[in-house]
Structures are given as C-alpha cells and as structure tokens.
Amino acid sequence: MTKLALKVDVDTWRGTRDGVPRLVELFARHQAGATFLFSLGPDHTGRAIRRVFRRGFLQKVSRTSVVEHYGIRTLLYGTLLPGPDIGRREAVLMRGVRDAGFEVGIHTWDHIRWQDFVAGKDAAWTEREMNKAAQRFEQIFGQPPRTHGAAGWQMNTAAYAHEATLQLDYASDGRGRCPFQPVDAEGRVLGVPQLPTTLPTLDELIGLDGLTADNVHQVILDQTSTPPQTGHVYTLHAELEGLRLLDTLDRLLSGWKQQGYQLVSCAEMFAGLDVGQLPRCQVEMGEIPGRSGTLALQGPAVVSS
C-alpha cells in the first residue's frame, strides 16, 4: 500500500489553539497518522505586512481570504498587539497531540522572522533561531526534536547543516518529487534526508480557474490517482484545513483512502526508506504556481563520480 504522509504546519496561536484539536479529531476518525510541526515562540503574524511588496503577494491574498482564515486579531500580532508566546501558552495542548499518538516536531521559533529573513542570514543567526526552537521543544516534550519543517519552505545552507548538528532523523523543508539526500555544490552530503512536499496546497489552488473549497479536493485527487512508488507528502495548515477548510480536508482524506493510500506520519514514511539508496540532490530556490516569492525546491539528482 502506497504511503501518503500528512504534514501539519502550525503557524499561529489561533491555529494551535483552535485548529490543531479539530485536526486531531478528524485524523482519529479516519485512522490517519500525521506529523504536527509547531511554531514554538512568539506569534508575529502581523509583521507579514512586509510582503505586500513581494511579487504575487497581493494577488494571493485576494484569492485566499487571509482575513477570513486568520482573523483580524492574529493579523495584528507583532504590530498593534503584542505577539503571544505560543509554546508557553499551549504546551499542554502540544503534549496532548503527542500523547494521542501523533508525531511532533519543529516548524520554527518565530514563523514570520524565519520565513522573511532566513534566506539572507548567516550561520550564527540561523543557528540561534533553530536552537531557540529546539530548546523550547525539549522543555515542552522532555526530549530533543527528531524532525523539522521549515516555515514557508525557506532555508539556507547553514540551516541544512545545523539539522545534522541537532541530530534530527530527517526533515521536510522544501518542495519536490521524492525523498532525497541534500548535497552541496561539490556533491558532499548536507544535513539530513529530506521528505519534500510533493503536492500543491489548498491556498495555492483556491481562487484559480473556478476552484473553491467545495471542489478543489478533486484537483488534488486527480494528481494522486496514480500512486508514485515513493508516495506523497501533503502539507496542510492548522489555520486553514484545521478551521474553515476542515470539510475540504475531510473529503481529501476519504478520497485518498478510496484510492488505496495509507495515511501516515512523515516518521512512518521515513522508516520505510532505504536511506543509503536515496537520490542525492542539490536544493534550488525557485517559484511554485500560486505561491508568492521563491522557496526551496528539490533539484536534479547528482550523479556520483
């Protein structure tokens, strides 16, 4: 049975507090595994206003009803309102997710700070941000993190290298077509194995070509109708699928089960891989249809000399 890993990016306090419990209930009803990646520090969502100058940002905002999905209060955190400390406020809830049998890992310390700045920062800045998240994770869960999924699919070379320093098992930091081992420009192993997101997200599709919350699931199911040998990784967001798009996700989960997929956590997918046989690929920065800005993409496989 082909595996389809469910990866939940939890970006905000509202998504943690309100969206995560609904997703836990839905996954339990479908007997689905999943990986929850938490933002562990301050919610500074309001600072995303800087992106207004990024090409394609305003078009995406107009399509995906950001205010409706995130709420006015969340969109003021870090500007007119102080950003709540998510990990401090929701530690009990986060441990409850783990205790319910789901994999937990790091999304980021400060989602907006990482997504907007990491691509241009040096190793010292990057490692400080990652260490803050790792330390908070251990405070909450009593053990070191085993996985990381980058906020906004934004990374730099130092971030990949530091994932190995943190002794992570694997990570899911970018977009791609199959599991792979990142390498640097000289072909040397960089960081830990990657399970990239292989499918488009709902917010990349809704509003295009007549797609709505009522019919967008069919487009994704069309893309998964022929299971690939290495399976799929689907990224969803607690703020979207966990709230107003919960019914859409429900239809997706039912459709994937009908297609014969086993719905699992990223850890379960990783456990079934022969890591030594993974293709070695560099990571490139590029664009994804429906999403503004550039993000980390799996490049072509590098042939060993």
CA–CA dist 178, 291 (Å, integer): 20
Chain centroid to Cα 103, Å, comes to 13
Report angle CA 144, 149, 152 to the nearest 5 degrees: 140
Lowest mean pLDDT: which of 81-85, 220-224, 267-271?
81-85
Of 243, 223, 247, residue with least CA distance to 234: 223
Q: Where are the alpha helices (DSSP H) in 224-304?
A: 246-258, 266-271
Taking the C-alpha atoms of residue 11 and residue 275, their distance in angstroms, rounded to an integer, is: 29
Quote the CA–CA distance of 225 and 221 in Å, as a whole number.
6
Looking at every residue in the chain, the average pLDDT score rounds to 91
pLDDT band at residue 304 under the 50/70/90 scheme: low
Contact 180, 194 (CB under 8 A): yes
Q: Are 19 and 242 a contacting pair, CB within 8 Å?
A: yes
The mean pLDDT of 268-281, rounded to a whole number, is: 97
Mean pLDDT calculated for residue range 213-234: 97
Q: What are phi and psi for residue 21, nearest 5 degrees?
A: -60, -35
Q: What is the pLDDT of residue 60?
A: 47
Q: What domains, with CATH codes, occur in the chain?
A: 3-301 (3.20.20.370)
* pLDDT, position 90: 98
pLDDT at site 56: 47
Instruction: Return the sign of the alpha-carbon dihedral for residues 131, 134, 139, 144.
Output: negative
What local confidence, expressed as pLDDT, does residue 77 receive? Answer: 59
Asked whether the CA dihedral 127, 129, 130, 132 is positive or negative, the reply is positive
Percent helix, strand and coil across the chain, each rounded to 5?
45, 20, 40
In degrees and rounded to multiples of 5, residue 263 shows phi and psi of: -85, 115
- The pLDDT tens digits for 140-194 are 999 999 999 999 999 999 999 999 999 999 999 999 999 999 999 889 999 999 9
Look at strands 262-264 and 3-10 and give their pairing.
parallel
Quick: pLDDT tens for 245-255: 999 999 999 99
- pLDDT over 90 for what percent of the chain? 82
Quick count: other Cβ atoms within 10 Å of Cβ 161? 17
> 242-280: string of b/e by CB count within 10 Å (b at 16+)?
bbebbebbebbbebbeeeebbbbbbbbbbeebeeeebbb
Beta-carbon contacts of 165 under 8 Å, excluding residues fewer than 6 positions away, are: 127
40 in Cβ contact with 95 (< 8 Å): no
Distance CA 176, CA 262 (A): 20
Mean of pLDDT values over 46-59: 49
| Confidence band for 83, pLDDT divided at 50, 70 and 90 | confident
d(Cα 199, Cα 4) in Å, to the nearest integer?
10
Read off the pLDDT of residues 96-114 as tens digits, 9 standing for 90 and up: 999 999 999 999 999 999 9
